[in-house]
Structure 1
Amino acid sequence: MKGHINYDPTFKLKISKRSFVDGLSKRFHYAEKMVKFNDPNALQWQYLNTHHETVDINVYPVYVQNITGRGVVNRVMDDALDINHPDLEENYEARVSLNLCEKDLRNNPRGTNGEMTLDNLHGTMCAGIISSVANNSICTHGIAYNSRVGAVRMLCEEGTVSFAVLVRAVTHAYRQIDTSSSSWGPTDDGKTTSGPTKRLRDAYDTLAFKGRGGKGVINVFAGGNGAEFKDNCGADGYINYPWAISVAALGKDGTKASYSEACAAIRIAVPVGRDLKTTSGNSACSSNFTGTSAGAPLLIGSLALILETRPDLTLRDIMHILTISGRLPRVDVWNQFSFNAAGLLTSTSMGSGLLDIALGHKLAKNWKNVGKMCEVSFKSDQKLPLADVFWTEDSTIARTKYMHYLNGKSSKLPIKGKKTLVTFRVKESNCTIEKLENVIISLKINHGNPDNLEISLISPSGTDTVLLYARGDEFHKNSPINYEWTATGFYGENPNGRWTVIVRDRKPLINTKTDKVRGRIEAARLTIQGTALNDSAYERNKQLYDEVLTKAGKERRQSGKGHRLTESEAQQVFREQVKRYFDAFE
């Protein structure tokens, strides 16, 4: 029978006493005897890694519980969907599908004139990772292989998409979908900076606040594939939208994939590499799907398993669960991670770490919903001499103007060669926030070459993160930045105290007869989101947090200070988390 697990309930007793060192064999017993698939490419390393054990999403312990995504409706926003594919048609959800590229075929998200060409296979590959059918001897199976999947075709063959089309795509059937997967974005060339318009942000807000009966559609974005071109997702406004879940990609050995971009908005990482098996157009199979494009549907399918068990969880609940259930993929990436002051792992390249869906599902089963969220914004309140700096052929600084923060107007700070600091003093307000969730920084910057700028944020507890990395050496004259960044690494911290934004010019221009550059910060705003203590996920799920936090994490929480992960801490954390990984197979 399609989509059915062949499960031997007595086998669990046979392996329950196996030792930790025999964990790898234990996992194979799960794959071979407790959960059986006849799909040709069912046993993928992303699902169960045979070479670098534990570098996978740890999904088999969830399958053993007969959790397969039933009742969950997923949507892929992409180029097309082969609705006639034998590995997808049984799970296809027509009521949430739409073709925005052809007026005459509005209800058919297949390619142009209903044909699937080489230019529109991407969406079908994404859909297969989420919901392709199991045990039909075709291709492989989706992560949530009993969930439903539809598609909005909005990436047309012309190669461009208007904001008006995006607004319609985002809001289509928002009441009927549970998740939305987006594996597209601004060009990953190390030059482009782009984000949603206000109208499009309003459309995304509709998903976040009105979707799923007010619980929020789980909206996942691929984190970007431009790292090899010195690109980073700090320049992508879609990934930095606060209610998006942005995902990074890992290679087969657990290191960051060479193409995967980094920024403070990355929430979690999934194993992708360059060889994920999935469906393709014209009823074919693909063996080389790659990039964070594959990572987004991989995460969507994993979260669909959680939503089957707990459909009442909100978008914020899901974000919390991802934040505490990520794990260190290997010890020698310790220098890419920090502990925040709540004892949680955070990284600009991997978020909270490698996805562990077995742990996430275990947490979800007993999770108590987070309470009402509060949001407060602050402007910089410092009074400092500020300069408009520019170069002439006669002198380095031709003129200096002094301005002060006054009557609510934003400060204007010079961007010097070393660094410029913007500080915010956060105090208690009528809207009480004692436990942080998202932190959002808005800056308006005028600079001769913004690609040289690196922008960082430090919390009152000492946790630091990079919002935007410097990108390449090309000179983009008079390119303004009026931008917003989301930082996910401060969850659980207390926001009160001094927040510091650091803007560094990593390659300041030298004085020549032709160089003329202006650099200043014209406006700065800090927005914090979170809850009072009793409404927080941490207080309501205190026992779950205590069970998940590592010894080193608890020490960080006790100290109330964030810091960069040390190698010795990484060794300890890795041992504890790997043991928990294998314990899931008991």
Structure 2
Amino acid sequence: MNNKLNIVTAGLLLALGQASAQTFDNSVQEYDPTKHVWEYTYKLADGDPLVVHQWHLQNTGQSAGAITPGVAGIDLNLDFTHRRGILGQGINIAVIDDGLATYHPDLAPNVVQGNTPNPNPYIYQYESRGRLSIDDHGTKVAGIAAAAAYNGQGGRGVAPNATLTGVNYIGKESNINSRTLAIRSVMDMDGAVQPMNKLTDARVINQSIGYSFSDASIYGDYRAFFDDIDAVTKRAVTESHGGRGAMAVKSAGNSHYIGGRWLDRDNGLLTLIYPNGYALPAYDASIADPTNANFWNLTVSALNAKGNLAAYSTGGSAVLLTAPAGEWGRYSPATVTTALPKWCTDATETQCEEPMYAFNMNGTSAAAPALSGAVALIMSANHQLSWRDVRHLMITTATKVDADAKPRMIGDYEAIPSWQVNGAGHAFHYDYGFGLVNVDAAVEKALQTGPILGDLQIKSYDVPVKADAFIYDGDFTGTESVHTQTDDLTVEAVRVHLSLDHERLGDLSVELISPSNTRSVILTAGTDIEGNKFNDNVILSNHFYGESAKGDWKLRIIDTNAKDSWSERVYDLGTGKFVEGSKAVIPQRGDKVQPNNTKPGQLTGWSITFYGH
């Protein structure tokens, strides 16, 4: 009965939302016939008092309670989409997390739980890994994606008329013990209704969760575990909703550095510590978390309100897009969203707080639901589009951010290039993927098109490796292995399985170079990875989207000696950028010293998989 009432309530809100969506202030800009519709800026409709602080929806340069403001225009660009009354209607977003507060007044109207078990979060404070915790993460995530709009309280979600399903997978009172079971649950894979088409089956699966492994052997040792997640995600993404599929959105991770300390707390200057001598990222999205290297996941990095990569955000060639998330909220804006309506420090509920809303949500955990909401808006604009069509629209309309980003160097070697235009004309960056999702542009194109991409093709090849494929210390020419692709297809992504022996894996830079001469750094040197071999480890690159697969694909491995020392670099939270000239080399911590390899490494095997059409 409650589910039916919630569906009816959501329907009523849809009607109210569409009415409110027409009350925008149109006087901001005069009509310019040379502009596209998505290049205009409209004031967001009134009706939610905190929306003025939600810079991820519309960044006017507000501070959202922080000492320094954001930069106008660094947002999802969704104002015209909301004005049209496209608010995510008909799209269900599943939040796989620590449960969500279904009783929150800004979430309750949109909850359609169906048969998925979702106990409300554990509201009592408890100790976890040495910290006092409450299970409010999923509630914050859900509010970013789909908090209700025009109800006179709080803020609003990116897709405020989408529906929500919650799963308590990581909370104290979790009742689902694996990600595969969580995905199966929200897609009703084990139920009587097939194919997966019910209202409560997710069209968007939000995963603000993940791993940060430093042990290189994890994937090889637990390959069946990761392959099971891969297979279940594939089924959910490809077989649901009459073949149109679902979008699985995954946070890239928050492991850009391995430690930090305040240089100047009063002025927001934070010294970040890196496990290499060049202030290169501590972790790579694919290697740290093999589920990021899962083609069926859309991996997203985090952007701050200034338009730069958030200080904590993991990057890598597996990142497809970036989305707003912010910093920690004191010196630079964080994300404003829903919080637990009530949480207590004791089981008797005598010492409780009722925060309702939070101004300090950040992390790639916040970027994922921002993107999930964006996906819901595009899908609701045109329900016939497949999950791959929606990806295509977001890739081809994304906004280049941090456009003057400089390459990060090891001497004369570009360890992480600046923005690169691939052979299909799409700009890509290791940190940002194809850029910041542009909702208005993607929705405009969605309204004017039918299905876009042809049938998905997957082609895999084992590549013969020479017996003398040695990786020599400090040799920047690297060792190469070539796969000649004779069958053609238009690439959507490329995945490499890599096996090699090397005594200090963190020295290695791994590149994949396409027939169009696009150089994708699929693993940057200097990561905090440990062990002495890759055992079929997976790495995904989205860099080649739209290119032809036909021709020679070169795998190049370079031993850079990046781990002979550590480094630190000063990050200015007020500007959202690193302080120029602040990089300094420091000794490795005693218990983390990794001696240089005493003999050359060796490439022992690799395979390549093309996903495309």
Whether the TM-score (by the shorter chain) exceeds 0.5 is yes
Q: Distance in 2 between matches of 1:321 and 1:513?
A: 47
What does residue 66 of structure 1 align with?
Answer: 85
Q: Distance in 1 between matches of 2:437 and 2:56?
A: 11
What does residue 368 of structure 1 align with?
Answer: 450
* CA distance 1:192–1:120, change in 2 (3 Å): farther
Q: 1:488 aligns with which of 532, 542, 558?
A: 542
Q: Which has the higher helix share?
A: 1
Does the CA contact (< 8 Å) of 1:247 and 1:266 recur in 2? yes
CA drift of 1:496 comes to 1.2
* CA distance 1:221–1:457, change in 2 (3 Å): same
CA drift of 1:459 comes to 0.4
CA drift of 1:362 comes to 0.9
CA drift of 1:179 comes to 0.6
Does the CA contact (< 8 Å) of 1:39 and 1:136 recur in 2? no
Does the CA contact (< 8 Å) of 2:398 and 2:438 recur in 1? yes
- Pairs within 5 Å for 1:374-389: 374-381=457-464, 384-386=466-468
What does residue 370 of structure 2 align with?
Answer: 298
Does the CA contact (< 8 Å) of 1:373 and 1:530 recur in 2? yes
Q: Distance in 2 between matches of 1:91 and 1:209?
A: 25
* CA distance 1:250–1:189, change in 2 (3 Å): farther
CA drift of 1:490 comes to 0.9
Q: Distance in 2 between matches of 1:26 and 1:373?
A: 35
Q: Which moved more, 1:440-449 or 1:269-278?
A: 440-449
Does the CA contact (< 8 Å) of 1:131 and 1:301 recur in 2? yes
Indicate whether 1:6 and 2:20 are aligned. yes
What does residue 527 of structure 1 align with?
Answer: 609
Q: Distance in 2 between matches of 1:523 and 1:188?
A: 22
What does residue 340 of structure 2 align with?
Answer: 281
- Pairs within 5 Å for 1:503-542: 503-507=557-561, 519-531=601-613
SS of 2:178's equivalent in the other structure is helix
Letter of the 2:238 counterpart = F
* CA distance 1:261–1:515, change in 2 (3 Å): closer
SS of 2:608's equivalent in the other structure is strand
CA drift of 1:39 comes to 2.8
Does the CA contact (< 8 Å) of 2:317 and 2:543 recur in 1? yes
Indicate whether 1:213 and 2:242 are aligned. yes
* CA distance 1:281–1:473, change in 2 (3 Å): closer
- Pairs within 5 Å for 1:533-572: none
Does the CA contact (< 8 Å) of 2:494 and 2:540 recur in 1? yes
Q: Which moved more, 1:142-151 or 1:45-54?
A: 45-54
Give the TM-score, by structure 2 length.
0.72
* CA distance 1:480–1:339, change in 2 (3 Å): closer
* CA distance 1:37–1:276, change in 2 (3 Å): same
Does the CA contact (< 8 Å) of 1:217 and 1:315 recur in 2? yes
Q: Distance in 2 between matches of 1:232 and 1:513?
A: 21
- Pairs within 5 Å for 1:43-122: 43-51=53-61, 52-95=71-114, 97-99=116-118, 108-111=119-122, 118-122=133-137
Q: Distance in 1 between matches of 2:363 and 2:141?
A: 11
Q: Deviations over 1:471-510 (max 9, x none)?
A: 4467x34344321222111111111111111112222899
Q: Distance in 2 between matches of 1:424 and 1:233?
A: 24
Indicate whether 1:445 and 2:500 are aligned. yes
- Pairs within 5 Å for 1:133-282: 133-157=148-172, 165-174=178-187, 175=196, 176-187=201-212, 196-229=225-258, 230-235=282-287, 236-274=289-327, 275-282=334-341
* CA distance 1:228–1:301, change in 2 (3 Å): same
Letter of the 2:151 counterpart = N
Q: 2:419 aligns with which of 337, 343, 347?
A: 337
* CA distance 1:508–1:277, change in 2 (3 Å): closer
Q: Distance in 1 between matches of 2:125 and 2:254?
A: 29
CA drift of 1:379 comes to 2.7
* CA distance 1:331–1:110, change in 2 (3 Å): closer
SS of 1:216's equivalent in the other structure is coil
CA drift of 1:146 comes to 0.8
Letter of the 2:208 counterpart = S
Q: Deviations over 1:502-524 (max 9, x none)?
A: 112222899x9996567322211
CA drift of 1:367 comes to 2.6
What does residue 510 of structure 2 align with?
Answer: 455
Does the CA contact (< 8 Å) of 1:68 and 1:146 recur in 2? yes
Structure 1 runs of 4+ with >6 Å offset: 23-26, 112-117, 188-192, 512-515
Does the CA contact (< 8 Å) of 2:77 and 2:440 recur in 1? yes
CA drift of 1:115 comes to 11
Q: Deviations over 1:190-249 (max 9, x none)?
A: 989657522222211221222223222100001111102212213121111011101111
CA drift of 1:43 comes to 4.4
What does residue 572 of structure 1 align with?
Answer: none
Does the CA contact (< 8 Å) of 2:459 and 2:609 recur in 1? yes
Q: Distance in 2 between matches of 1:180 and 1:10?
A: 31
What does residue 380 of structure 2 align with?
Answer: 308
Q: Deviations over 1:125-171 (max 9, x none)?
A: 00001111112232210011111111111113399x99x62221121
Letter of the 2:77 counterpart = N
Does the CA contact (< 8 Å) of 1:77 and 1:181 recur in 2? yes
Give the TM-score, by structure 1 length.
0.75
Structure 1, unpaired ranges of 5+: 100-107, 387-412, 532-586
Does the CA contact (< 8 Å) of 1:78 and 1:183 recur in 2? yes
Letter of the 2:313 counterpart = S
What does residue 31 of structure 1 align with?
Answer: 43
- Pairs within 5 Å for 1:410-421: 413-417=469-473, 418=475, 419-421=478-480
Q: Distance in 1 between matches of 2:156 and 2:398?
A: 24
Q: Distance in 1 between matches of 2:369 and 2:537?
A: 27
* CA distance 1:135–1:191, change in 2 (3 Å): farther
What does residue 141 of structure 2 align with?
Answer: 126
